[in-house]
Structure 1
């Protein structure tokens, strides 16, 4: 049986009662490096081995046809991603920005992402919303048989509103969301992170143009789930060598 979460990126002034009331959500601590891991039905969730700090390889694909996920609370109906590209983004731009969003997480933790052509075979499916609402949502479902308080993520969906205007880059206009920043946030949910609060991290629930990279809390959270990335380990080794 699958369980789902409600996970959306909100505008500055938008508030939804109970948005942060995820059952059993885990808060590491307050401060500039605060993070929160998703807990669904009392269990943390992650890709790969059901052990915190262990990396994973995850595939993703764009929806190229109408897809329906009856068990999903969010993104139940996915439309082809080209519906988003038809607005003010070319498919080439959307593909590039999506890959860049995955790379932000990949180079920060023990994760690797690879694109596949068939959405039916992908771990994470990215598409346009079949029934447009809000800005963007994620949906996470998990496999049965928890182990040491962790369930393996079975599938994740990311859906974006094709009726909203999107942009590439920050320009100070917070009414139009940067597509890469939005995708980084939603992918964070898709790999097991929750909102730590309203601001200060990419995973916070308020859209901001104050930073375009992961913040200390984002890094602490994803590394707790998947460990350090190869780039971080290489830099550590280089620093160790230089200090000898």
Structure 2
């Protein structure tokens, strides 16, 4: 049996055993999200289509699958979805500005040998492609923080119904601060784990620290980490405020 199939079966068994129905839906969501990304890539290669618009729509679909399909439609998932999409919108503007300023779109010197036999005249705006890559790379971490804060703040209000709006918002911010460090470090180590071969290559070619930092491929990945960290930091106050406002409003009306 293929090793990938064996790993998939093990993952399915563990998710079903630990998560039950939610675990089954989580496993199925992997394939649904893969389908969304697959069709997104097909549209990104079309010169007449704006990659950023396609990525935003794909982010909304991924959010629906990851939040509503797995955890069903409820107050927590709706608030987490709204918080995620607001953060993505703000982050899009920020990433556009940073990418245009740094001019790191396209291919670096280290990739010229691999693409030397291909034509670069493909009619695609690489700035928009780089923005799309960063958004798709950060959507998972942003959703994770948004749903974590939403679930925690719902529990805080449930355990302490007399809490004020300001105190509830402060609770959300406190929860977010604890998540911020671990999620940012997760992205950081994921980068070094995925690009360890590149760092070894830099070492073998005796790159100086300055040459590594100024390398386009290294800078683009480092910017991805920083933008992802910015997205995680942004979603904390956004999600905390929306949760506090909505929960207090529904509490008064009930």
Which of the two has greater helix per residue? 2
Task: Mark yes or no: TM-score above 0.5.
Answer: no
Which of the two has greater strand per residue? 1
Q: Which has the larger Rg?
A: 2
Q: Which has the higher contact order (CA 8 A, sep 6+)?
A: 1
Report the TM-score range of the alignment, normalised by the length of the smaller protein.
Answer: under 0.3
With normalisation by structure 1, the TM-score equals 0.25
With normalisation by structure 2, the TM-score equals 0.24
